[in-house]
Amino acid sequence: MAADVTDLLRQTDLLRSVPDGDLAALAEASRVRTFRRGQLVCSAGDRGDTLIVVITGRVKVMVRSADGGELMLAAVAPGGTLGEVSIVDGGPRSADVETLEDSQLLLVPRERVHDICERNPAAGQALARSVAAILRRLTDATGDLVFLDLPRRVAKVLLSQPRDADGVILPPLTQAQFANQAAGTRQSVNAAMRGFERRGWISVDGRAVTVLQPDMLARFAGG
């Protein structure tokens, strides 16, 4: 099992440059946890004492309003990591993390990762790039909320999802997940998607959504 965990850590963008001995020690100090679909992994304000690596399944990063509204900031697939900001500053979690599917997660002690990044320049640079990517993503999302209307935000959400060779979004998102990512209601998001379907830009069959004309969606969303 330790060898498997070491291989998993080596495949992450953050730790792929770390020497094998350090990775093996990091694997020994880490623990694997299993979560059911829809289970809360951590909440905003919790101690940011671990780096989270997704082994299987998917998790979402989100913020919640006082009245229970949700805004989904990111969906993280296997091989992805969470908690880089807390690795840097030692602060608490800045968002909630919840599973989208049954998931296995690897919890890596923050102090061990921080120490490795300080001693390994390549890992330190990877950590800086990861935090910069988070900042850019949040800056873009903030700009979208302020400057784009809902249909254009829905177009950007559609384009941001992984798709197979035929344009089918995989794995499929629920109506609630689309709404959370676009910061709208289910009804308004469905209305926008029906409009795209009438134009022939997408097709919808139950939960299966196929992007047929990504260039038109991109042009509509502002490039």
Give me the percent of the chain exceeding a pLDDT of 90: 79
**Is residue 91 predicted with pLDDT exceeding 60?**
yes
Confidence of residue 21 (pLDDT cuts 50, 70, 90): very high
**Does residue 122 share a domain with residue 26?**
yes
Q: What is the pLDDT of residue 67?
A: 78
Report pLDDT for 223.
Answer: 64
The structural domain count of the chain equals 2
Backbone angles phi, psi at 148, to 5 degrees: -105, 140
How much is the mean pLDDT over the chain? 92
Q: What's the pLDDT score for residue 71?
A: 86
Please determine, for residue 145, whether its predicted confidence score (pLDDT) is greater than 70.
yes
Contact partners, residue 126, CB within 8 Å, separation at least 6: 13, 14, 15, 16, 17, 117
More confident site: 98 or 176: 98
Verify that 95 and 61 share a domain, yes or no: yes
How close are the terminal C-alpha atoms of the chain, in Å? 45
Residues 153 and 197 reside in one and the same domain? yes
**Percentage of the chain exceeding pLDDT 70:** 98
- pLDDT-based confidence at residue 93 (cuts at 50, 70, 90): very high
CB 152 within 8 A of CB 221: yes
Judgement on whether residues 172 and 210 belong to the same structural domain of the protein: yes
Reported as half-sphere exposure (CB side, CA atoms, 13 A), residue 137 has a value of 14
Same structural domain, 132 and 155: no
Contact yes or no for 18/116 (Cβ under 8 A): yes
Single pTM value for the model = 0.81
Structural domain boundaries, residue 19:
2-145
